[in-house]
Structure 1
Amino acid sequence: MEILQWAFMVGISLAIISLIFILYFIASFISQGKGIKKAQPIKTKNKRKKKKLANELDKMKVKRKKARRNIIIFLLLAVSFAGGSYYITYYQSTNLSVEDTQNITDGFYYLRDLQQELEAIQSGETDEAKSKQTITFIVTSLAGYSVKKANTLNTIEGQRALNRYYSSMSELGINISRRATQLYTDPDVIAESLTDIEKTTGHQRQAFKFFKVDESALQSEK
């Protein structure tokens, strides 16, 4: 479980605990109020008893004051914890999870490297044995995107953007792997494969745009 999910659960738990304390202190506040109203009408000429009642009344007033103060404190805490949890939910719904970040980062390099390999084949500037090994690794990795799904904590729109991207990556990997042997003998297969890469890159750009991924930073990292 990610740190943010733990933080969300802790925030919600603390907000609920704060609400329980609020209810407790509200009950105490009401109880002390009733006690004060009940004690005030009592009159007696016995000084000792009168002093005792006055002390009890003062204690109840102090407890009522503390209860009111605690209500305010725990109300602020409940609002803070609930607000923090809401922000975490909002953040998760509009930002990439650790797993999705890794998926799109790897995908970016897979597409880039695959395109470079195919262009090298197209221009005749490649070692066929090494090229086959590289392409096999890449298309196998791309086909593996068939089991990847966007984090469900994300927005529906964000999930759709990522899942379209993952699905197109998987289809690209499967399609090229089926025609891998033709890449070195049929120029049309190379051209079609490059066109498919461009379509997949289009889905990638949509996902990057939605999640504000800095593509230039990825290009400079590797």
Structure 2
Amino acid sequence: MSVLDSIFIGVVVAAILFFIGTVYFLVQFAVIRRKIQKLSTRRVKNKKKKQLRKRLNQLKKKKRRSVTSFVVFLLLTMSFSGGSFYISYYQSRNLTTEDSDLVVKGYYLLRDFEEQLLKAGNQEEDEIKIQQNIRYLAATLASYGTKKASNVNSKEGQLALNRYYTSLMQIGMNTSTQTKNFFANMDLVGEFLNDADRIKEYEKAAFEYYQVDESALLEE
């Protein structure tokens, strides 16, 4: 559980407790008000009037305290409720730590994959070494098939991320069946580079939705 998740839970719990307090003081105010009304209309003998006034004064003080407490708890309930809504909205529009790690990793994996394909097609390195590199990248990309966007994200955000993860998984699985065929085969390399370009469209959509700074990734 992230720090933000813990804060969100704490704020929600506080909002609920303050709401209960608000209801309690509202009910208390209504009960005291009813008692005051009943006592105010009661007819008593002169010797009991002093005792009645004292009781009324006590109830009026208690009523004022109830009103003050009600207002305070109401304001606190509104504040914490607003805070919980803001945190929920913030979470829905920003990547969780896990999704952020997956997106950054996927970004570099895809570009390493493209680089290894070009080396294979142009025969720039030892064939066995390139095959091993491509096999590793294919397996890592295919592992995105087990990844799902956090459900704290908005539905639109989840859709953008899951499309991206699925596309990475698919190219990884497709590559795993062709690892021995890329060397000196620019036609096949070209096909997979085109697939990588299509993945970048999903990547771009996810980056734009979550306002990921690609320039910062390029600098690393």
**Do these two structures clear the TM 0.5 threshold for a shared fold by scoring above it?**
yes
Counterpart residue type for residue 154 of structure 2: T
After alignment, is 163-172 or 127-136 more displaced? 127-136
What SS does the aligned partner of 1:181 have?
coil
Say if 2:186 is the partner of 1:187. Answer: yes
Residue deviations 1:78-136, cap 9 Å, x none?
A: 11111111112111211111111111110001011111122223333223333222222
**How big is the shift at 1:20?**
1.6
**How big is the shift at 1:203?**
1.2
Counterpart residue type for residue 13 of structure 1: V
Runs of 5+ consecutive residues of structure 1 not aligned to the other structure: none
The aligned runs of 1:1-222 (5 Å cut-off) are: 1-41=1-41, 42-46=43-47, 49-221=48-220
**How big is the shift at 1:43?**
4.6
Query: Matched residues in 2 for 1:112 and 1:163: separation?
Result: 19
Query: Matched residues in 2 for 1:202 and 1:27: separation?
Result: 58
Under a length normalisation based on structure 1, what TM-score does the superposition of the two structures give?
Answer: 0.91
Query: Matched residues in 2 for 1:88 and 1:30: separation?
Result: 35
Residue deviations 1:124-177, cap 9 Å, x none?
A: 322333322222211110000111111122222111111111111011111112
Query: Matched residues in 2 for 1:76 and 1:161: separation?
Result: 38
Cα RMSD for the two superposed structures: 1.6
**How big is the shift at 1:40?**
2.7
Counterpart residue type for residue 28 of structure 2: S
Counterpart residue type for residue 117 of structure 2: L
After alignment, is 129-138 or 157-166 more displaced? 129-138
Runs of 5+ consecutive residues of structure 2 not aligned to the other structure: none
Identity of paired residues, percent?
Answer: 37
**How big is the shift at 1:29?**
0.8
Counterpart residue type for residue 177 of structure 1: S
Q: What number of residue pairs does the alignment pair up?
A: 219
Residue deviations 1:47-105, cap 9 Å, x none?
A: xx433322221111110000001110111111111111111211121111111111111
Query: Matched residues in 2 for 1:24 and 1:203: separation?
Result: 52
